[in-house]
């Protein structure tokens, strides 16, 4: 849910922006869908409404980082400021996420006065007054009455080319990179800066580069190459600026997609920024331009730059639990195609002012006719007319997709400040107001790259075949090596067994023969002894028998050893049998490897069949797409490739405008939003802070924010955070709260002025200083807090911020000084204060006198009021006389454009005795 119009400048960023400057009825292409409105913050070009949606979701789901269960929150609203010609804002996203609707976004840019206007209009005020912080433009009817208009962005004459690009074209370029078509167009009177805004090359000063150069620079940051066409529409003839020989191009419509194409136009591929700049320089050399009274180099044709972008999208969310590697690689890559069209329209002009005659007159007629046809188309679309006259002009046919089509369009209208051209300025503003009512249905362009997938599968198949062959060869080599090693080991074992067996057999044979020989010798000796000693006692015979028995036992033991050796021989033979079994086992392993090879060959064949089937399916899908059949089921794996739209959209309802804040508190709760100020994520913190700042702009919300501790949190952020973006937004929120007198006392009591002064001392960004100066300026308007404000360094902080020299910052400083001087004047009138002004004591008089005649009207008006209020206190008279303020008071009493200030200055001079004496001495008359 969104709050009322924020204090921060907002530009309606993405889809198509076209505007017209004609007072006649304005039409454009058929409106078939509703639209989406997305607001972008000035500083970071951030989606404003998405910011609120993001903060609401974070507040409803603030425990998501700690594993909490997410809850669903739906918020939608819209707002209206009550200003004239502000169309309602709506937003919608369809259920598929592939198409969204979006309103044409319009920004207005004011050209500074040129030398001719400075000399001829010196006695006349500008007919245009800008209020960029409120996105408003005032067009004066006369000195007493004016009309007020609101746009998506109001760019002052001080706006840089970079600032214009970021708020007008950068959101469109980002959408083109996401796969959408986008259009950026400039419209306005001749000589108001359209070509400077779009096509400035910036050869000498890079800061002066236009939207074309900056857009392509951002595109090259995301892609390696683009294709460019550059044409001009001259007197209803389409000519190729890159190839002047193609001077009569035809418009064709693609029968498949319905897109408008130029078959004969040059389409050049560009790979770097320098080549693109050279193409632009070549095209500008061929463009028709002439010298008129309104512009020395007036474009006499409509220039159209077409940039074709093709970007591959990385697939996310693939199924990592697939059954095979093949299933995970069967999804084709997604390619997004976007087209950026930059249109530099020829300036509308009146013949009596431009002085056109002859051929130049015919050119002006052709330009006005094509712009009139464009205006009629825009008016028809804005009023939801059943008929849109697209074919009345080639310009409207070329831009059919940009209005009521599928492109995201952004328009910048350029105006001048001179009151002599008030009619043309009014017509341009009305063109922009009507264009803001045109809505487009944006559609992303994606397609599957089946050729890339087929090449990838071919490489995978070849890789698998080569890997299989390498493995098969490795298996065969390993089997041969194992077989050779087994044979060698068996041969060595057999030889070792035979040698050992032979040695053992010979050893035991020798031992046996020696034992037998010894026994025979003993037996012979015993027989000899028996024969010679048969008469000896029986004891000797018994001893001999024992010896014989022992020898018999030894012989038996020898025989047992022989048997053991024979058993060992048997074991060696068994080991030989086991070796043979090992050989058989190795042979069986070889057979298994052969079988595995056959299985892998079957798998390769199956992969080839799947590749053929995939190619057939791709051809069938391509035929269906070419025949216009959009009923292909994308809910499976292919559907998961289509990524959602990058930036979520919100819905708005005009019936809930008055209850937006109440519903925000009701659905989210202020405490939840405040709790996000302490989040670790800097994006969450800055988004929540912006919501608080915009809520603080409503008086009904200020008391709730203070009661919930919001003021304390904002002041704490000024000291706890080092992010200047947070300082800027927090200061803006404090400035909004400081509009309430009760809140002013709370800010002072909590040392808010000291914190703001410290922030101003450390800040360099003009927007941050503007917010801080605005907050202090609001506090300066409280009579009760002046002494405390000065004690906390408020006046010195204001004076220190003039170092920035930015007009917006100086305007806030001047406003704060005027408020402070007014309170002092009131206190002096009531007799409460005596003595010199605190402003003069702190040295503010020098800056006041120096800027009393500042060119910026807001600064000058506040300084003039401050001088008048300071002069009402007689104690300041002497310092003002010596400081040169008396001369400025005399000038104000005579030449001030505001009658109230002029009367106040005269009354002040006439009521001061010191001033009267000095005027008599100088022989001056205050009136």
* Binding positions for ATP: 188-195
What is the DSSP-derived secondary structure letter of residue 650? -
Which residues lie closer than 8 Å to 18 by C-beta, 6 or more apart? Answer: 28, 104, 183, 185, 187, 374, 378, 399, 402, 403, 409, 411, 435, 438
636 burial level (CB within 10 Å; 0-12, 13-18, 19+): exposed
> Token pair of 628, please?
């216009």
> Token pair of 887, please?
């001369």
Which residues lie closer than 8 Å to 421 by C-beta, 6 or more apart? Answer: 189, 353
List Cα–Cα distances, 259 to 94, 174, 262, in angstroms: 22, 21, 10
Report the distance separating Cα 660 and Cα 405, nearest Å. Answer: 31
Helix, strand or coil, per DSSP, at residue 156: coil
Which residues lie closer than 8 Å to 820 by C-beta, 6 or more apart? Answer: 780, 781, 786, 789, 795, 838, 839, 866
> Token pair of 240, please?
């190729």
Rg (CA), the chain: 47
What is the DSSP-derived secondary structure letter of residue 577? H
Report the distance separating Cα 225 and Cα 272, nearest Å. Answer: 7
Query: Directed axis angle between helix 766-779 and helix 741-749, to 10°?
Result: 110
Which residues lie closer than 8 Å to 809 by C-beta, 6 or more apart? Answer: 766, 769, 770, 773, 801, 802
> Token pair of 131, please?
């209020």
* Binding positions: 188-195
Q: How close are the terminal C-alpha atoms of the chain, in Å?
A: 56
Report the distance separating Cα 549 and Cα 560, nearest Å. Answer: 17
- The total of other beta-carbon atoms located within 10 Å of residue 314's CB is 7
Query: Directed axis angle between helix 766-779 and helix 807-829, to 10°?
Result: 10
Report the distance separating Cα 183 and Cα 205, nearest Å. Answer: 26
* Cα–Cα nearest to 540, from 528, 550, 526: 526
Please provide the DSSP assignment of 787-845 as one string. HHHHHTTHHHHHHHGGGG--HHHHHHHHHHHHHHHHHHHHHHHTTS--SS-HHHHTTHH
């Amino acid at each position: 849910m969104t709050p009322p119009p924020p204090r921060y400048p907002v530009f309606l960023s993405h889809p198509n922006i076209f505007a017209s400057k004609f007072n006649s009825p304005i039409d454009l292409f058929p409106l078939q869908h509703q639209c989406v409105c997305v607001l972008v913050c000035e500083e970071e070009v951030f989606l404003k409404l998405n910011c609120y949606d993001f903060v609401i979701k974070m507040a409803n789901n603030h425990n998501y980082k700690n594993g909490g269960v997410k809850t669903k929150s739906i918020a939608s609203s819209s707002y209206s400021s009550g200003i004239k010609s502000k169309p309602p804002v709506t937003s919608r996203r369809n259920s598929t996420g592939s198409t969204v609707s979006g309103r044409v976004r319009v920004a207005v840019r004011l050209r500074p006065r040129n030398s001719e206007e400075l000399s001829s209009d010196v006695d006349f005020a500008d007919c245009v007054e800008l209020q960029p912080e409120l996105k408003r433009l005032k067009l004066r009817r006369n000195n007493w009455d004016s009309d007020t208009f609101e746009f998506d962005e109001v760019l002052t004459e001080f706006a840089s080319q970079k600032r214009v690009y970021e708020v007008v074209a950068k959101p469109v370029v980002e959408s083109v990179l996401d796969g959408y078509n986008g259009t950026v167009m400039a419209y306005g009177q001749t000589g108001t800066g359209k070509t400077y805004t779009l096509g400035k090359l910036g050869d000498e000063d890079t800061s002066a580069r236009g939207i074309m150069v900056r857009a392509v620079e951002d595109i090259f940051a995301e892609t390696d190459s683009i294709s460019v066409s550059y044409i001009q529409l001259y007197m209803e003839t389409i000519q190729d600026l890159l190839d002047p020989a193609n001077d009569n191009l035809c418009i064709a419509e693609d029968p498949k997609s319905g897109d408008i194409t130029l078959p004969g136009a040059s389409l050049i591929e560009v790979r770097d920024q320098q080549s693109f700049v050279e193409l632009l320089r070549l095209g500008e050399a061929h463009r028709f331009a002439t010298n008129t009274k309104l512009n020395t180099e007036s474009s006499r044709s409509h220039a159209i730059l077409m940039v074709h972008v093709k970007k591959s999208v990385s697939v996310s969310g693939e199924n990592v639990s697939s059954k095979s590697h093949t299933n995970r690689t069967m999804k084709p890559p997604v390619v997004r195609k976007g087209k950026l069209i930059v249109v530099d329209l020829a300036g509308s002009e009146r013949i009596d002012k431009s002085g056109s005659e002859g051929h130049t007159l015919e050119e002006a007629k052709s330009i006005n006719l094509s712009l009139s046809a464009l205006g009629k188309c825009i008016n028809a679309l804005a009023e939801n007319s059943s008929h849109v006259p697209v074919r009345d002009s080639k310009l409207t046919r070329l831009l059919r997709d940009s209005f009521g089509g599928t492109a995201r369009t952004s328009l910048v209208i350029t105006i001048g400040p001179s009151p002599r051209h008030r009619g043309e300025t009014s017509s341009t503003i009305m063109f922009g107001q009507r264009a803001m009512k045109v809505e487009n249905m944006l559609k992303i362009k994606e397609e599957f790259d089946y050729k890339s997938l087929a090449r990838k599968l071919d490489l995978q198949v070849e890789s698998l075949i080569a890997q299989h062959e390498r493995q098969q060869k490795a298996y065969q080599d390993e089997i041969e090596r194992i077989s050779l090693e087994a044979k060698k080991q068996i041969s060595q074992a057999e030889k070792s067994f035979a040698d050992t067996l032979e040695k053992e057999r010979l050893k035991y044979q020798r031992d046996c023969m020696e034992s037998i020989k010894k026994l025979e010798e003993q037996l012979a000796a015993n027989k000899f002894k028996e024969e010679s000693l048969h008469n000896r006692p029986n004891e000797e015979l018994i001893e001999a028998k024992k010896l014989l028995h022992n020898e018999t036992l030894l012989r038996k033991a020898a025989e047992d050893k022989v048997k053991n050796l024979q058993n060992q021989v048997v074991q060696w033979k068994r080991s030989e049998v086991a070796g043979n079994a090992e050989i058989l086992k190795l042979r069986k392993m070889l057979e298994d490897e052969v079988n595995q090879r056959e299985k892998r060959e079957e798998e390769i064949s199956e992969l080839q069949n799947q590749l053929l089937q995939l190619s057939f399916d791709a051809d069938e899908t391509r035929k269906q797409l070419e025949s216009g059949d959009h009923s292909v089921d994308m809910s499976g794996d292919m559907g998961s490739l289509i990524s959602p739209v990058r930036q979520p959209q919100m819905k708005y309802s005009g019936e809930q405008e008055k209850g937006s804040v109440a519903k925000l508190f009701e659905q989210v709760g202020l405490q939840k939003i405040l709790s996000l100020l302490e989040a670790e994520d800097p994006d969450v913190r800055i988004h929540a802070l912006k919501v608080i700042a915009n809520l603080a702009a409503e008086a009904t919300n200020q008391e709730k924010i203070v009661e919930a501790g919001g003021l304390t949190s904002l002041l704490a952020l000024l000291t706890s955070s080092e992010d200047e973006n947070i300082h800027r937004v927090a200061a803006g929120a404090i400035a909004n709260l400081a509009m309430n007198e009760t809140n002013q006392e709370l800010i002072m009591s909590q040392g808010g002025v000291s914190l703001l002064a410290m922030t101003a001392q450390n800040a360099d960004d003009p927007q941050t200083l503007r917010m801080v100066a605005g907050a202090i300026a609001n506090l300066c308007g409280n009579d009760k807090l002046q002494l405390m404000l000065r004690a906390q360094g408020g006046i010195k902080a204001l004076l220190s911020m003039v170092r920035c020299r930015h007009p917006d910052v100086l305007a806030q400083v001047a406003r704060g000084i005027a408020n402070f001087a007014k309170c002092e004047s009131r206190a002096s009138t009531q007799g409460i204060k005596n003595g010199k002004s605190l402003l003069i004591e702190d040295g503010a008089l020098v800056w006041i006198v120096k800027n009393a005649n500042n060119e910026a009207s807001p600064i000058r008006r506040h300084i003039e009021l401050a001088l008048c209020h300071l002069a009402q206190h007689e104690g300041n008279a002497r310092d003002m006389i010596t400081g040169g303020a008396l001369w400025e008071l005399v000038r104000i009493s005579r030449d001030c454009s505001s009658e109230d200030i002029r009367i106040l200055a005269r009354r002040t001079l006439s009521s001061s005795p010191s001033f009267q004496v000095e005027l008599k001495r100088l022989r001056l008359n205050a009136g």
